[in-house]
Amino acid sequence: MADGTAGWARGALLILAGLALSATTAALAIAQDKEGYIGEARCATCHKLEQEHWAHTAHAKVFRVNPGNALATRGCEACHGPGAKHLQDATDKTAIIAFTHRRGTPVETQNAQCLQCHKGRQRIFWQGSVHQTSQLSCSDCHNPMAKFSVSGLLAKGSISETCFTCHQQQRTEFRKRSHMPLPEGRMSCGDCHNPHGSVTRPLIKADTVNQLCYACHSEKRGPFIWEHAPVRRDCLSCHTAHGSSHESLLVVARPFLCQQCHANISHPANLLTRSNLPRGAWPDERAVNRSCSNCHSQIHGSNHPSGARFQR
């Protein structure tokens, strides 16, 4: 009898304890789930402005309307990680994954968050690329918190502006007299480079420099009956890609450009003045202006049966 009472009492206690436990779990479930996610609505109670700006981005639209995976349904926490600890102490810098330099989350941790969904495509060669090994974070170039650029969620208004924050030297080069229309906004660094990595140095978007140039200057691809060896070998034998103080992006002014490889004795070379002087009051009109190209006008190759010297 005494045993029976004790057994009943123990049973009741267990039930009560069970009830209490499930009550606590239920209370917690409102605040966070098993992994510590608290939900976008909760973030917005303190980060209203950030949420409003973020709402205009591709992520917000896709995550809300058509989440591709379970992570996307987490909203803010898809990138920033579970927020429960952050809720307890917002000043604890290790409690949430942050992407600003001042906050000090390791770059590897930051990038791993983004790569959960963005491993493939343009980032196939991210691992080991010069930007990855130089410890760049995705957020050095991307700011997914608002729509700062038309496309690509960039940190600045355009691709080139984004690159210029670090590559000042290239900005200077593109300001030289001869340059492709990049400062004019008709092309960008991203037309020639893949900032996420490439098999071709330096981050070139094609298998070789020439293949890159042919993509837009297809007429230089040929085939030609008469080929000019250095053109086939490397456009950069004569051109720079970013900018030059000489016309047509040439690395050196003519005739010196040609004379780097062609002897300046007899014809062809020292045609600068009729008296064979490099400069003077009476320069050889055949060599002024476009210099050697006055006659050798098909310098990239000729398809004329008699074009062996690239004059036609």
Minimum CB distance to ligand HEC, residue 304 (Å) = 13
Task: Pick one of 246, 295, 298, 307: the residue that binds ligand HEC (CB under 6 A).
Answer: 295
Tell me if 257 contacts ligand HEC by CB under 6 A.
Answer: yes
Contacting residues for 296 by C-beta, under 8 A, at least 6 apart: 309, 310, 311
209 scored as a contact of ligand HEC (CB under 6 A): yes
224 binding ligand HEC? (CB under 6 A): no
Query: Interface residues for ligand HEC in 131-190 (CB under 6 A)?
Result: 131, 134, 136, 138-145, 151-153, 159-160, 162-163, 165-167, 170, 174, 178, 180-182, 186-187, 189-190
Write the CA distances from 205 to 35, 108, 193, 198, integer angstroms.
41, 25, 5, 7
302: contact with ligand HEC by CB under 6 A: no
Task: Return the SS3 of 302.
Answer: strand
Residue choice 197, 203, 224, 243 for contact with ligand HEC (CB under 6 A): 203
The single residue among 195, 197, 243, 302 that binds ligand HEC, judged by CB under 6 A, is 195
Output 125-130 pairs: Cβ under 8 A, ≥24 positions apart.
125/194, 125/196, 125/197, 125/198, 125/199, 126/196, 126/197, 127/197, 128/197, 129/196, 129/197, 129/198, 129/203, 130/197, 130/202, 130/203
Instruction: Quickly list H helices, 96-175.
Output: 107-118, 130-133, 138-141, 159-164, 168-173
The neighbouring-strand residues paired with 154 are 142
5-24 positions binding ligand HEC, by CB under 6 A: none
* Cβ closest to ligand HEC, residue 47 vs residue 283: 47
The encoded tokens of residue 37 equal: 């996610």
* Residue 197 is a binding residue for ligand HEC (CB under 6 A): no
Q: Is 20 helix (H, G, I), strand (E, B) or coil?
A: helix
C-beta closer to ligand HEC: residue 7 or 68? 68
136 vs 115: CA distance, rounded Å: 14
Nearest distance in Å: CB 24, ligand HEC: 21
- Pick out residues in 47-86 that bind ligand HEC (CB under 6 A): 47, 50-51, 54, 58-59, 62, 68, 71-72, 75-80, 83, 86
* Span near ligand HEC by CB under 6 A; candidates 4-12, 15-23, 25-33, 263-271: 263-271
Give the nearer residue to ligand HEC in terms of CB position, either 2 or 263.
Answer: 263
Percentages helix, strand, coil for the chain (3-state, rounded to 5) are 45, 5, 50
The tally of CA atoms less than 13 A away on the side-chain side of residue 223 is 1
Q: In terms of CB distance, is 33 or 180 closer to ligand HEC?
A: 180
